[in-house]
Protein backbone atom coordinates (compact mmCIF):
# COMPACT_ATOMS: atom_id res chain seq x y z
CA UNK A 1 0.00 0.00 0.00
CA UNK A 2 2.89 2.33 0.83
CA UNK A 3 4.34 1.68 -2.62
CA UNK A 4 1.02 2.51 -4.26
CA UNK A 5 0.76 5.75 -2.27
CA UNK A 6 4.28 6.80 -3.23
CA UNK A 7 3.52 5.94 -6.86
CA UNK A 8 0.43 8.15 -6.75
CA UNK A 9 2.45 10.96 -5.21
CA UNK A 10 5.02 10.50 -7.98
CA UNK A 11 2.32 11.00 -10.59
CA UNK A 12 0.82 14.03 -8.81
CA UNK A 13 4.22 15.65 -8.39
CA UNK A 14 5.40 14.74 -11.87
CA UNK A 15 6.86 17.56 -13.90
CA UNK A 16 5.47 16.05 -17.11
CA UNK A 17 3.35 18.70 -18.80
CA UNK A 18 1.44 17.43 -21.79
CA UNK A 19 0.98 20.19 -24.39
CA UNK A 20 -2.51 20.90 -25.66
CA UNK A 21 -1.99 23.21 -28.63
CA UNK A 22 -5.07 24.53 -30.32
CA UNK A 23 -5.73 23.49 -33.87
CA UNK A 24 -5.00 27.02 -35.02
CA UNK A 25 -1.66 27.19 -33.17
CA UNK A 26 -0.65 23.86 -34.60
CA UNK A 27 -1.54 25.01 -38.10
CA UNK A 28 0.38 28.28 -37.72
CA UNK A 29 3.48 26.55 -36.35
CA UNK A 30 3.64 24.32 -39.42
CA UNK A 31 3.20 27.06 -42.01
CA UNK A 32 6.08 28.75 -43.70
CA UNK A 33 5.84 32.20 -45.22
CA UNK A 34 2.92 32.82 -47.54
CA UNK A 35 2.96 30.36 -50.39
CA UNK A 36 5.51 28.05 -48.73
CA UNK A 37 5.09 24.37 -47.99
CA UNK A 38 4.00 23.20 -44.53
CA UNK A 39 6.84 21.96 -42.31
CA UNK A 40 6.66 18.62 -40.53
CA UNK A 41 5.39 18.92 -36.98
CA UNK A 42 7.75 17.31 -34.46
CA UNK A 43 5.78 15.76 -31.64
CA UNK A 44 7.87 15.10 -28.53
CA UNK A 45 7.68 11.72 -26.82
CA UNK A 46 6.24 11.57 -23.31
CA UNK A 47 6.76 8.22 -21.66
CA UNK A 48 4.76 7.34 -18.61
CA UNK A 49 6.77 6.36 -15.50
CA UNK A 50 6.09 2.67 -16.06
CA UNK A 51 9.31 1.27 -14.59
CA UNK A 52 8.86 -1.04 -11.62
CA UNK A 53 9.32 0.73 -8.28
CA UNK A 54 10.89 -2.38 -6.77
CA UNK A 55 14.56 -1.72 -6.03
CA UNK A 56 15.57 -5.22 -7.15
CA UNK A 57 14.58 -4.42 -10.73
CA UNK A 58 16.17 -1.00 -11.00
CA UNK A 59 19.11 -1.39 -13.32
CA UNK A 60 21.43 1.15 -14.88
CA UNK A 61 23.08 0.92 -18.25
CA UNK A 62 26.37 0.51 -16.37
CA UNK A 63 25.08 -2.73 -14.82
CA UNK A 64 24.30 -4.09 -18.28
CA UNK A 65 27.65 -2.97 -19.69
CA UNK A 66 29.44 -5.26 -17.22
CA UNK A 67 27.88 -8.50 -18.53
CA UNK A 68 30.24 -10.90 -20.30
CA UNK A 69 28.02 -13.86 -21.18
CA UNK A 70 24.43 -13.26 -22.27
CA UNK A 71 22.43 -16.19 -23.63
CA UNK A 72 19.77 -15.69 -26.28
CA UNK A 73 17.49 -18.19 -24.57
CA UNK A 74 15.39 -20.75 -26.43
CA UNK A 75 11.59 -20.82 -25.99
CA UNK A 76 10.31 -24.44 -25.72
CA UNK A 77 6.78 -25.56 -26.62
CA UNK A 78 4.11 -28.02 -25.62
CA UNK A 79 2.66 -30.33 -28.31
CA UNK A 80 -0.16 -27.84 -28.99
CA UNK A 81 2.34 -25.03 -29.58
CA UNK A 82 1.87 -23.17 -26.30
CA UNK A 83 4.89 -22.26 -24.16
CA UNK A 84 6.34 -25.09 -22.08
CA UNK A 85 7.15 -22.97 -19.04
CA UNK A 86 8.42 -25.91 -17.01
CA UNK A 87 11.05 -26.72 -19.66
CA UNK A 88 11.77 -23.00 -20.07
CA UNK A 89 12.45 -22.61 -16.34
CA UNK A 90 14.82 -25.57 -16.45
CA UNK A 91 16.70 -24.01 -19.37
CA UNK A 92 17.10 -20.67 -17.56
CA UNK A 93 18.16 -22.43 -14.36
CA UNK A 94 20.86 -24.33 -16.24
CA UNK A 95 22.13 -21.04 -17.66
CA UNK A 96 22.33 -19.48 -14.20
CA UNK A 97 24.03 -22.53 -12.68
CA UNK A 98 26.67 -22.50 -15.42
CA UNK A 99 27.52 -18.82 -15.15
CA UNK A 100 25.43 -16.93 -17.71
CA UNK A 101 24.88 -13.38 -16.46
CA UNK A 102 22.00 -12.35 -18.70
CA UNK A 103 19.31 -13.79 -20.96
CA UNK A 104 17.68 -12.32 -24.05
CA UNK A 105 13.98 -13.18 -23.89
CA UNK A 106 12.01 -13.45 -27.12
CA UNK A 107 14.91 -12.70 -29.42
CA UNK A 108 15.44 -14.38 -32.78
CA UNK A 109 16.71 -17.48 -31.00
CA UNK A 110 13.73 -17.38 -28.64
CA UNK A 111 11.42 -16.96 -31.65
CA UNK A 112 9.93 -13.63 -30.64
CA UNK A 113 9.02 -13.24 -34.30
CA UNK A 114 6.54 -16.13 -33.86
CA UNK A 115 4.94 -14.74 -30.69
CA UNK A 116 2.02 -12.46 -30.14
CA UNK A 117 2.93 -9.41 -28.07
CA UNK A 118 0.80 -10.80 -25.23
CA UNK A 119 2.91 -13.96 -25.20
CA UNK A 120 6.07 -11.91 -25.52
CA UNK A 121 5.43 -9.60 -22.57
CA UNK A 122 4.11 -12.48 -20.45
CA UNK A 123 7.35 -14.43 -20.99
CA UNK A 124 9.46 -11.40 -20.08
CA UNK A 125 7.43 -10.89 -16.90
CA UNK A 126 7.59 -14.59 -16.03
CA UNK A 127 11.38 -14.58 -16.44
CA UNK A 128 11.74 -11.51 -14.23
CA UNK A 129 9.47 -12.91 -11.54
CA UNK A 130 11.23 -16.27 -11.42
CA UNK A 131 14.85 -15.35 -12.11
CA UNK A 132 15.22 -11.57 -12.01
CA UNK A 133 17.27 -11.68 -8.82
CA UNK A 134 19.83 -14.09 -10.31
CA UNK A 135 20.24 -13.01 -13.92
CA UNK A 136 19.69 -9.86 -15.96
CA UNK A 137 16.55 -10.13 -18.08
CA UNK A 138 16.84 -8.33 -21.42
CA UNK A 139 13.59 -8.26 -23.36
CA UNK A 140 13.55 -8.12 -27.11
CA UNK A 141 10.96 -5.37 -27.56
CA UNK A 142 12.23 -4.08 -30.89
CA UNK A 143 10.07 -3.77 -33.99
CA UNK A 144 10.16 -2.32 -37.49
CA UNK A 145 7.29 -0.09 -36.32
CA UNK A 146 8.42 2.67 -33.97
CA UNK A 147 4.95 2.88 -32.43
CA UNK A 148 5.01 -0.86 -31.70
CA UNK A 149 8.56 -0.71 -30.31
CA UNK A 150 7.60 2.12 -27.95
CA UNK A 151 4.52 0.30 -26.67
CA UNK A 152 6.26 -3.05 -26.21
CA UNK A 153 9.22 -1.45 -24.45
CA UNK A 154 6.94 0.41 -22.05
CA UNK A 155 5.23 -2.87 -21.26
CA UNK A 156 8.52 -4.73 -20.89
CA UNK A 157 9.87 -2.25 -18.37
CA UNK A 158 6.50 -2.22 -16.61
CA UNK A 159 6.82 -5.96 -15.92
CA UNK A 160 10.36 -5.45 -14.65
CA UNK A 161 12.83 -6.27 -17.42
CA UNK A 162 16.30 -4.89 -16.77
CA UNK A 163 17.07 -3.78 -20.32
CA UNK A 164 15.63 -3.77 -23.84
CA UNK A 165 17.08 -5.15 -27.07
CA UNK A 166 16.26 -3.10 -30.17
CA UNK A 167 16.69 -3.98 -33.83
CA UNK A 168 16.65 -1.43 -36.63
CA UNK A 169 13.47 -1.32 -38.74
CA UNK A 170 13.64 -4.26 -41.15
CA UNK A 171 11.89 -4.92 -44.47
CA UNK A 172 10.31 -1.45 -44.59
CA UNK A 173 13.73 0.15 -44.20
CA UNK A 174 14.25 3.80 -43.36
CA UNK A 175 16.94 6.46 -43.87
CA UNK A 176 19.88 7.05 -41.53
CA UNK A 177 18.01 9.99 -40.04
CA UNK A 178 15.03 7.70 -39.55
CA UNK A 179 17.22 5.17 -37.72
CA UNK A 180 18.38 7.86 -35.31
CA UNK A 181 14.81 9.01 -34.69
CA UNK A 182 13.65 5.41 -34.18
CA UNK A 183 16.29 4.68 -31.52
CA UNK A 184 15.86 8.10 -29.90
CA UNK A 185 12.18 7.21 -29.43
CA UNK A 186 12.93 4.17 -27.25
CA UNK A 187 16.20 5.04 -25.51
CA UNK A 188 14.62 7.33 -22.87
CA UNK A 189 12.73 4.39 -21.33
CA UNK A 190 15.65 2.47 -19.89
CA UNK A 191 18.92 0.59 -20.54
CA UNK A 192 19.09 -0.46 -24.18
CA UNK A 193 21.20 -2.73 -26.37
CA UNK A 194 21.04 -1.97 -30.09
CA UNK A 195 21.27 -5.05 -32.30
CA UNK A 196 22.94 -4.84 -35.72
CA UNK A 197 22.42 -7.90 -37.91
CA UNK A 198 22.24 -6.83 -41.59
CA UNK A 199 21.86 -10.44 -42.79
CA UNK A 200 18.39 -10.45 -41.21
CA UNK A 201 17.29 -6.82 -41.47
CA UNK A 202 18.69 -6.06 -44.90
CA UNK A 203 20.25 -2.83 -43.61
CA UNK A 204 23.46 -2.11 -41.72
CA UNK A 205 23.42 0.28 -38.76
CA UNK A 206 26.55 2.30 -39.56
CA UNK A 207 28.81 3.93 -36.92
CA UNK A 208 27.37 7.31 -37.92
CA UNK A 209 24.03 6.29 -36.39
CA UNK A 210 25.53 4.68 -33.29
CA UNK A 211 27.69 7.73 -32.61
CA UNK A 212 24.60 9.93 -32.83
CA UNK A 213 22.59 7.91 -30.28
CA UNK A 214 25.56 7.14 -28.04
CA UNK A 215 24.94 10.45 -26.27
CA UNK A 216 22.07 8.77 -24.41
CA UNK A 217 23.03 7.54 -20.94
CA UNK A 218 20.67 4.61 -21.51
CA UNK A 219 22.68 3.12 -24.37
CA UNK A 220 24.31 0.09 -22.78
CA UNK A 221 26.00 -1.02 -25.96
CA UNK A 222 25.76 -2.77 -29.32
CA UNK A 223 25.25 -6.39 -30.29
CA UNK A 224 27.33 -6.35 -33.46
CA UNK A 225 27.23 -9.02 -36.18
CA UNK A 226 29.15 -7.22 -38.95
CA UNK A 227 32.54 -8.44 -37.71
CA UNK A 228 35.50 -7.77 -35.49
CA UNK A 229 36.84 -4.78 -37.40
CA UNK A 230 33.57 -2.95 -36.70
CA UNK A 231 33.71 -4.06 -33.06
CA UNK A 232 37.20 -2.63 -32.66
CA UNK A 233 36.07 0.63 -34.25
CA UNK A 234 33.46 1.01 -31.50
CA UNK A 235 35.53 -0.22 -28.57
CA UNK A 236 38.33 2.14 -29.58
CA UNK A 237 35.86 4.97 -29.00
CA UNK A 238 34.66 3.66 -25.64
CA UNK A 239 31.39 2.10 -26.84
CA UNK A 240 30.55 -1.27 -25.28
CA UNK A 241 30.05 -4.10 -27.77
CA UNK A 242 29.00 -7.74 -27.55
CA UNK A 243 29.86 -10.04 -30.40
CA UNK A 244 26.76 -11.44 -32.07
CA UNK A 245 28.75 -14.13 -33.89
CA UNK A 246 29.66 -17.17 -31.81
CA UNK A 247 32.35 -18.22 -34.29
CA UNK A 248 34.11 -14.85 -33.88
CA UNK A 249 33.45 -14.13 -30.21
CA UNK A 250 36.73 -15.49 -28.84
CA UNK A 251 38.80 -13.18 -31.03
CA UNK A 252 36.33 -10.35 -30.49
CA UNK A 253 36.66 -10.67 -26.71
CA UNK A 254 40.43 -11.07 -26.41
CA UNK A 255 41.81 -9.27 -29.47
CA UNK A 256 39.28 -6.59 -30.43
CA UNK A 257 37.99 -5.22 -27.13
CA UNK A 258 34.50 -6.75 -27.03
CA UNK A 259 32.94 -6.93 -23.58
CA UNK A 260 31.61 -10.42 -24.28
CA UNK A 261 29.09 -12.31 -26.39
CA UNK A 262 25.34 -12.60 -26.81
CA UNK A 263 25.37 -16.28 -27.61
CA UNK A 264 23.25 -19.02 -29.15
CA UNK A 265 25.78 -21.79 -28.47
CA UNK A 266 25.63 -21.14 -24.72
CA UNK A 267 22.13 -22.65 -24.75
CA UNK A 268 23.95 -25.97 -25.24
CA UNK A 269 27.32 -25.53 -23.49
CA UNK A 270 27.00 -22.56 -21.12
CA UNK A 271 29.95 -23.58 -18.96
CA UNK A 272 32.35 -23.77 -21.90
CA UNK A 273 31.11 -20.46 -23.30
CA UNK A 274 31.63 -18.84 -19.90
CA UNK A 275 35.19 -20.18 -19.85
CA UNK A 276 35.72 -18.76 -23.33
CA UNK A 277 34.61 -15.29 -22.16
CA UNK A 278 36.19 -15.24 -18.69
CA UNK A 279 39.23 -17.52 -18.78
CA UNK A 280 41.58 -15.55 -20.99
CA UNK A 281 42.72 -16.36 -24.50
CA UNK A 282 42.10 -20.04 -25.15
CA UNK A 283 42.52 -20.97 -28.83
CA UNK A 284 42.32 -24.70 -28.10
CA UNK A 285 38.88 -24.39 -26.47
CA UNK A 286 37.75 -22.10 -29.28
CA UNK A 287 38.88 -24.66 -31.85
CA UNK A 288 37.06 -27.40 -29.91
CA UNK A 289 33.79 -25.45 -30.09
CA UNK A 290 33.98 -24.27 -33.71
CA UNK A 291 32.64 -27.51 -35.27
CA UNK A 292 29.59 -27.30 -32.98
CA UNK A 293 29.07 -23.63 -33.85
CA UNK A 294 29.35 -24.36 -37.56
CA UNK A 295 26.80 -27.17 -37.18
CA UNK A 296 24.39 -24.88 -35.34
CA UNK A 297 24.37 -22.25 -38.09
CA UNK A 298 24.30 -24.42 -41.23
CA UNK A 299 20.63 -23.43 -41.49
CA UNK A 300 19.09 -20.19 -40.24
CA UNK A 301 19.02 -19.92 -36.46
CA UNK A 302 17.18 -21.29 -34.43
CA UNK A 303 16.66 -24.44 -36.53
CA UNK A 304 19.90 -26.10 -35.42
CA UNK A 305 19.47 -25.13 -31.77
CA UNK A 306 15.88 -26.37 -31.62
CA UNK A 307 16.96 -29.69 -33.13
CA UNK A 308 19.91 -30.07 -30.76
CA UNK A 309 17.95 -29.31 -27.58
CA UNK A 310 15.32 -31.86 -28.61
CA UNK A 311 18.02 -34.45 -29.21
CA UNK A 312 19.45 -33.73 -25.74
CA UNK A 313 16.02 -34.37 -24.23
CA UNK A 314 15.74 -30.99 -22.49
CA UNK A 315 12.83 -29.74 -24.63
CA UNK A 316 10.03 -31.51 -26.45
CA UNK A 317 10.64 -31.96 -30.20
CA UNK A 318 7.99 -29.37 -31.06
CA UNK A 319 8.56 -26.72 -33.74
CA UNK A 320 6.43 -23.69 -34.49
CA UNK A 321 6.35 -23.38 -38.26
CA UNK A 322 7.99 -22.19 -40.43
CA UNK A 323 10.90 -23.82 -38.56
CA UNK A 324 11.47 -27.52 -39.16
CA UNK A 325 14.13 -29.85 -37.72
CA UNK A 326 17.42 -30.61 -39.38
CA UNK A 327 17.43 -33.80 -41.49
CA UNK A 328 18.45 -37.20 -40.16
CA UNK A 329 22.05 -37.06 -41.42
CA UNK A 330 22.62 -33.77 -39.59
CA UNK A 331 21.10 -35.17 -36.41
CA UNK A 332 23.59 -38.05 -36.57
CA UNK A 333 26.37 -35.47 -36.91
CA UNK A 334 25.19 -33.76 -33.72
CA UNK A 335 25.31 -37.02 -31.75
CA UNK A 336 28.94 -37.41 -32.83
CA UNK A 337 29.76 -33.81 -31.88
CA UNK A 338 28.35 -34.36 -28.39
CA UNK A 339 30.54 -37.43 -27.97
CA UNK A 340 33.64 -35.54 -29.16
CA UNK A 341 33.09 -32.52 -26.89
CA UNK A 342 31.80 -34.59 -23.98
CA UNK A 343 28.19 -35.12 -22.93
CA UNK A 344 29.03 -33.70 -19.49
CA UNK A 345 29.61 -30.27 -21.06
CA UNK A 346 26.08 -30.06 -22.49
CA UNK A 347 22.86 -29.10 -20.73
CA UNK A 348 20.56 -31.82 -19.42
CA UNK A 349 21.20 -35.30 -18.17
CA UNK A 350 19.58 -37.57 -20.77
CA UNK A 351 21.56 -39.45 -23.36
CA UNK A 352 21.74 -37.67 -26.70
CA UNK A 353 19.51 -39.30 -29.33
CA UNK A 354 19.23 -39.08 -33.10
CA UNK A 355 15.38 -39.03 -33.02
CA UNK A 356 13.23 -40.23 -35.91
CA UNK A 357 11.46 -37.85 -38.25
CA UNK A 358 8.16 -39.03 -36.76
CA UNK A 359 9.23 -37.85 -33.30
CA UNK A 360 8.97 -34.19 -34.30
CA UNK A 361 5.74 -32.20 -34.06
CA UNK A 362 5.26 -29.23 -36.40
CA UNK A 363 2.65 -26.69 -35.31
CA UNK A 364 1.18 -24.11 -37.68
CA UNK A 365 -1.74 -22.92 -35.54
CA UNK A 366 -1.28 -22.24 -31.86
Catalytic residue among 88, 136, 223, 234: 223
- Rounded distance between C-alpha atoms, residue 81 and residue 327, angstroms: 21
Name the phi and psi angles at 3, rounded to 5.
-65, -45
Provide long-range contacts, Cβ within 8 A and 24+ apart, for 298-301: 298/326, 298/330, 299/326, 301/108, 301/109, 301/264
The answer to whether 185 and 45 have CB atoms below 8 angstroms apart is: yes
Does the annotation mark 27 as catalytic?
no
Which residue in the list 88, 195, 234, 323 is annotated as catalytic?
Answer: 195
DSSP-derived letter for residue 358 is G
Residues with Cβ < 8 Å from 136, sequence gap 6 or more? 59, 63, 64, 67, 70, 101, 102, 103, 162, 163
Beta strand pairing status for 102-105 and 136-140? parallel
Whether 288 is a known active-site residue: answer no
Q: Which of 182, 260, 251, 255 is nearest to 220 (CA)?
A: 260
> Mind telling me the catalytic residues?
195, 223
Amino acid sequence: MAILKSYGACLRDSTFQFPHPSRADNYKSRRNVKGGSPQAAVIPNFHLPMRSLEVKNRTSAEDIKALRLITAIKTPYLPDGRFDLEAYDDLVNMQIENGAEGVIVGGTTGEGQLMSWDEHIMLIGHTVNCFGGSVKVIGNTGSNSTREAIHATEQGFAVGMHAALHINPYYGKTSLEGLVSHFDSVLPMGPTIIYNVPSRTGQDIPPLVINAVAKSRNLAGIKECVGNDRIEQYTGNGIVVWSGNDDQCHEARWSHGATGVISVTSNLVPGLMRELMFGGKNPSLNAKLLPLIEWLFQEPNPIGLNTALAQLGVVRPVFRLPYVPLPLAKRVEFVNLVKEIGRENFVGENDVKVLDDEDFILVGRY
